[in-house]
Amino acid sequence: MINTKIDIEKLPRHISIIMDGNGRWAKERKILRSLGHRAGVESLRNIVEAATNIGIEFLSLFAFSTENWSRPEQEVSALMMLIKEFIKKEAKRLHKNNIKILTIGDIDRFPEDVKKEINEVKELTENNTKLKLIIALNYGGRDEMIRAIKSIIKDNKNENDINEELINSYLDTRYIPDPDLLIRTSGEYRISNFMLWQAAYTEFWFTDTYWPDFTANDLEKAIVDFQKRDRRYGTV
């Protein structure tokens, strides 16, 4: 049941989430970090379902950053396995629920079997029209800008052609509206290289709750708080 305080007529079109705190959640329970990431996958499933039920059009999740490669090899391998496992297990259910899977970031560095699963689920769901689930994989805002600039130069664009519209057209998110609301879990107050360009006028909502403990109720609280804000976009 949707929180009655949510105004369905004023929903954020695009919600982004930095899913943080899996490792600390595991540490507090004296279990392996990989088990914290696995618990985080359960929260991911629940939040995707909740966002779909509420009527959110775009949901983007920061799953694996360009900086995550510096983590211990064992943890990176566990994350790769979880990404593959989640996509393989959830593909049919997501498709059945009319959810479209998109990715941002450069997945070329991923193992071939993981890339295969990613591309197959994207192809399977490409015509779906309900929630658009954007998974950020090997993504970093700075890396995205570097790749965009290189492509602009490669296409021999004149300096007079450079404007916001052109840059937007070269970003990974070129078919996705900027996030209206960005949520970060675990008590950290930074965006950690996530959607640096796109978040220019995004509203931020922070919570001390670790990602594995983040629930549909927390998502609804964030939306209710968002709907109380006055978004002026630099005007009076």
Query: So which residues are the catalytic ones?
Result: 20, 68
Question: Is there a contact between 20 and 209 (Cβ–Cβ < 8 Å)?
Answer: no
DSSP assignment of 51-77: HHHHT-SEEEEEEEEGGGGGS-HHHHH
Length of the chain, in residues: 236
How many other C-beta atoms can be found within 10 angstroms of the C-beta atom of residue 78?
18
Half-sphere exposure of 70 (CA within 13 A, CB side): 3
What is the separation of C-alpha 158 from the centre of its chain, rounded to a whole number of angstroms? 33
Could you give the C-alpha distances from 66 to 11, 136, 182, in angstroms and in order?
31, 10, 19
3-state secondary structure of 46: helix
How many helices and strands in the chain, by DSSP H and E? 7, 6
Q: Beginning with the edge strand found earlier in the chain, give each strand of the sheet holding 181-184 in spatial order.
A: 100-104, 132-139, 58-65, 14-18, 181-184, 203-206
Strands of 89-174, DSSP E? 100-104, 132-139
